[in-house]
Structure 1
Amino acid sequence: MGKKIRTAVVTGAASDKGIGRATAERYAEDGWGIVVLDLDGEKSAKVAAEIGSSYDVPAFGHAIDVADEASVNSAYFRVKAEVDSGALPTVGAVANIAGITSPVPFMETTLELWNKVFAVNATGTYLVTKAFLPDMITEGWGRIVTMSSVSAQRGGGVFGKVPYSSAKAAVLGFTKSLARELENTGVTINAVTPGAVDTNIRVGSTDEQEAAIARGIPLGRTATTREVASVITFLSSEDAAYLTGTTIDINGGSHMH
């Protein structure tokens, strides 16, 4: 019997240089149907069309604000309609990639900043997972991948500071706890903890800061988005069936434990 074709839902996938887009493309390489979700609905649809055309897979893009429950539910029902109509295969994977960081020192943070960073990174992961999980449980098969960070493990030290590290640590706790609740469902959930990656998330960083980051990595460079995407798609595969509640480090040796 051939491999079952499923759909991968990727949040934060419309940025040209982001981990989300690289992940959507890597899923498409493996034959998955693709859903691109990002704040900009037009850009999401455009990116989905490009991926669908390049890899000959069904692909759709929709707007989502991962921090807003109504927006998340709206995106879910759009995807469900596409699945129910036969335009997309059943959703089998959700990659929670959407995130924001902040380099603001703790004593200069505001409650507004703290809440915003938590809303996107932690609450967004909760809301998107909660929306798509029931159908996976019904199907008896599913893969959820969450995006944490080496900053959660080592207490910052890359670019994001206290709010970011705290929110990404919350993602790790969420992943482990939900993995226990999902026992015997056929659904797994795992986290990835990238170190510095060659993306545009570190808005405002200088060339000197980027060089200093690279010097602190035993492999001497930042990760490519494809290197992170390949781990995410592996965690979504049949081969990763015995992995759940795990944390996969992708940091070039900058943090070892």
Structure 2
Amino acid sequence: MKKKTALITGGATGIGKITALQLAEKGYQLIINYRSSELEAKELAKQLEESFGTDCLLLQGDVAKQEDCIRMVHQALTRFSSIDVLIHNAGPYIHERKKLTDYSFEEWNYLLNGNLSAVFNLSKLTIPIMRKNKWGRIITMGFDRVETAPGWIYRSAFAAAKTGLASLTRTIAIEEMINGITANMVSPGDISTEWKEKTIEQAFSSDNSLTSVGRSGTGEDIARVISFLVDENSSFITGSIIPVTGGIDVLGKALKDEHNIKES
């Protein structure tokens, strides 16, 4: 049976890395995109090969740039005959708190290109390949309650891009279901950087009661959902937006934190 190939953007670190490990364990060939994490990408490729014998291709590129998206897909197809799974994990984010008017034109365009247009570019290039195979899986990443188009204080560009992406994901699902292609969005909760590459087992053994489930969220929580969605037998799940938040109201927490700052 022919092995399937998955392209993971931003796959060298964080949730992308844990997702790569999950899919490698399931026998996938992997294309790992990274922007600046070359050392981490090479270390991951070595780990994948040694642990699972994974055929892995590393591709440097900025998904916010259309020309990089085009180049990476062309390079991938010189190595592999198809791209069966597309996981849009990469997404620019500005941690500094900024009101809409404080964003520069360049920042605004970069965030929209990296979080929304990148998905159009890569999907446009890979969906025709999936159509030929009558099979494909597309995964995008959102945020808590993204499907309701909520306001997110100081995150206007990111929120606008991801809200548009939720609609785009569902549109792809409707348009491509006849071709055996599914499209779903996974919406991580408040998973801190230090926990993005950790396991559920590590979370249970840590003294943390900040969430309703009594432990921190981890990259493995997200990767497990992605792994389920790309499975051969998950073809009935498409156009879904799946929150993985541990019961935390992420946007409410952000607003509460802002009020606390003003009061202090």
Taking every aligned residue pair, what percent have the same amino acid on both sides? 27
- Check if 1:101 corresponds to 2:89: no
The answer on whether the counterparts of 1:41 and 1:61 sit within 8 Å (CA) in structure 2 is no
* Distance apart, 1:45 and its partner CA: 4.3
CA distance in 2, matches of 1:173, 1:125: 12
- Check if 1:26 corresponds to 2:22: yes
CA distance in 1, matches of 2:244, 2:181: 23
When normalised by structure 2's length, the TM-score is: 0.80
When normalised by structure 1's length, the TM-score is: 0.82
Q: What's the counterpart of residue 92 of structure 1?
A: 84
Letter in 2 for 1:19: I
The answer on whether the counterparts of 2:195 and 2:216 sit within 8 Å (CA) in structure 1 is no
Letter in 2 for 1:104: R
Equivalent residue runs for 1:5-20 within 5 Å: 5-15=3-13, 18-20=14-16
- Which stretches in structure 1 are left out of the alignment for 5+ residues? 85-89, 203-213
Q: What's the counterpart of residue 185 of structure 2?
A: 191
CA distance in 2, matches of 1:100, 1:200: 18
CA distance in 1, matches of 2:138, 2:45: 20
| Post-superposition CA distance 1:89-132 (Å, at most 9, x none) | x4221100001222423142222222111111111121122221
Q: What's the counterpart of residue 204 of structure 2?
A: none
- Check if 1:82 corresponds to 2:82: no
- Which stretches in structure 2 are left out of the alignment for 5+ residues? 197-208, 251-264
| Post-superposition CA distance 1:188-228 (Å, at most 9, x none) | 110011111132699xxxxxxxxxxx84x423544100110
- Check if 1:226 corresponds to 2:220: yes
Q: What's the counterpart of residue 155 of structure 1?
A: 151
CA distance in 2, matches of 1:114, 1:104: 14
Tell me which of 130, 140, 143 is aligned to 2:134. 140
* Distance apart, 1:69 and its partner CA: 1.7
The answer on whether the counterparts of 1:42 and 1:62 sit within 8 Å (CA) in structure 2 is no
Q: What's the counterpart of residue 110 of structure 2?
A: 116
The answer on whether the counterparts of 1:199 and 1:225 sit within 8 Å (CA) in structure 2 is no
Q: What's the counterpart of residue 49 of structure 2?
A: 52
Q: What's the counterpart of residue 87 of structure 1?
A: none
CA distance in 1, matches of 2:194, 2:131: 35
Instruction: Quote the RMSD (CA, aligned, Å).
Output: 2.4
* Distance apart, 1:35 and its partner CA: 0.8
CA distance in 2, matches of 1:104, 1:187: 38
CA distance in 2, matches of 1:142, 1:199: 30
| Post-superposition CA distance 1:34-62 (Å, at most 9, x none) | 11011138443443233222211211111
